[in-house]
Chain A
Amino acid sequence: MSKPLTEIETGRVGVIELTALLTIYTATDVFLSFPSRVAYEGQSMAWAIPLVSGVIVLAAFFIVHFCFTRFPGENILQVLTRLFGRVVTLPIALIFTVFFIAQTALVMREFTETVVTTVLPSTPTALIALSFLVVVVYYAHKGLEGLTRTAMIFSYIFVIGLGLLLLLPLSWFDSSLLLPLWGRGVKATLWFGTMNTSLFCNVLILSFMYPSIRNRNQFVYIGAVSILAAALIFSVVLVVFIGTFAVAPLGRVPFPLYQLARVIYVGRFIQRLESIFVFLWVAAAIIKMGFGLWLSAYLYAYAFHMPVYRPLLFPFALLLYVLSFLPPDFPTVLALSAHVFEPYGWTVSVAFPVFLALLAAFIDYLKHRRRPRSKEDSTSSIRKGTGRYRFRRRAIVR
């Protein structure tokens, strides 16, 4: 009989790399129908909705971070496995897997439709999806280190490209279109801001990523910067978008950023630059889908205690293709996004991780209150590497 292998090895990632990956993962939604939907909801104050969502998600992140100070070096699934056993962790990891695979499938369908509608109208949709999938599987196969490093390199292109895309159409910008300033009112903005927290999966992702971070002291930095940067990108895009097109027709524009690229007219020789920007959002889409696929495979492998996750990428890629093409047409995809994912997605992406972190911290607190630990116990635990000191010992040994 062969010797059993160790647990899944994800490698270690840098702070800047992970921040870039999380920011791009969240902010890629600006290339999809999200700005159009939010502009319709918030009217002229739609730019404040992502900021409200960002603040709420940031608060949730700080709660999770506060709870995780009790469990140094462990992610949420490892903590739950230690406290409740694998019977509890398995369904929880499966819920997260289903969430990420469904989200990635929706994103894949939206991007495929974007490419078909805007750039390659004669190409079969399935062919575009397949070519997307080949790159996405290769990208996810490179692992977390490959994903984060690519995201960091791309982040410069992303920021410069997006900046140009927002600056070049400014000749059409009319600040009076941003009035009335309060839009549908502060209450409505707060409500939609709360609903749109489903866009931010940072809390959920960071609760898995914690042991993989090279410098764990920077955990708060990664969370705060990625959430605030994504919220700011959403907000600035919405300001430019509303100031350029006005609120009234926004709900009917399926790809707002593409429309923004189309109206660019700097002179006779610099106009209609959408073909250049298509590369930008296809690259961003690949990063988002690649990371989504990686997360799904990793969580599934963790749920069933598999030592590797890479062999799962191919079955999950097939599942991704099938799920993305189950909705019959593009309006159905948009409706799914607006009526299912947006109103209920936050329960999995924000509320559930916060609940789990609070529960784990509470159980851990109760356990330690019942059995006060003497100084000798702690020292022997660190030396033997047992209990909550096993990861700390590993760090000391390193």
Chain B
Amino acid sequence: MNPSDILITLIAPLLLIVYLWSFIRWLWRHEYRLGAVGGAVLMVVSCGGTLTYFLTKLLS
């Protein structure tokens, strides 16, 4: 794995969780409940996708 892969697979998801969590809270505060659920789904999908990518790179 090259440095950019490490950056993407380890640091980016952490930043993404922080970023999306604040966005989800903002949506919830403004009574966009479905939007908050969508944000949570996107957080799971993005982090899951990154994890899959990480594992694929690691195993190849």
Contacts and interface: CB of A to CB of B under 8 A. Distances in A.
A322 B50 contact: yes
A152 to B, nearest CB: 31
Contact of A306 (B35, B43, B46, B49): B35
Contacts of B41: 304
Contact of A319 (B2, B19, B37, B49): B49
Given A318-B8, A319-B46, A305 B53 contact: no
Nearest to B60: A328
Interface string B22-44: 01000101111011011101110
A321 B8 contact: yes
Contact of B50 (A130, A312, A316, A318): A318
A129 to B, nearest CB: 8
B8 A306 contact: no
Interface residues of B, number: 31
A310 to B, nearest CB: 10
B16 A314 contact: yes
Interface in A121-151: 124, 126-127, 130
A320 to B, nearest CB: 10
Q: Is the interface of A mostly helix, strand, loop or mixed?
A: helix
A1 interface: yes
Contact of A300 (B2, B32, B42, B49): B42
A153 to B, nearest CB: 32
A228 B2 CA distance: 44
Contact of A307 (B30, B46, B53): B30
B34 to A, nearest CB: 5
A99 to B, nearest CB: 15
Q: Is the interface of B mostly helix, strand, loop or mixed?
A: helix
Contacts of A311: 19-20, 23
A363 interface: no
A217 to B, nearest CB: 34
A204 interface: no
Interface in A104-128: 124, 126-127
B53 to A, nearest CB: 4
Contacts of B45: 319
A314 B35 contact: no
Given A2-B30, A315-B46, A328-B60, A306 B38 contact: yes
Nearest to B20: A315
B30 A126 contact: no
B32 A4 contact: yes
A326 interface: yes
A321 B12 CA distance: 11
Contacts of A3: 30
A305 B35 contact: yes
The 5 A-B pairs at the shortest CB distance, nearest first, are namely A304-B38, A126-B4, A306-B35, A322-B53, A322-B49
19 contacts: A1-B31, A86-B34, A124-B2, A126-B4, A126-B5, A127-B4, A301-B38, A304-B35, A304-B41, A305-B38, A306-B35, A307-B32, A315-B19, A315-B42, A318-B13, A322-B46, A323-B49, A326-B56, A328-B60
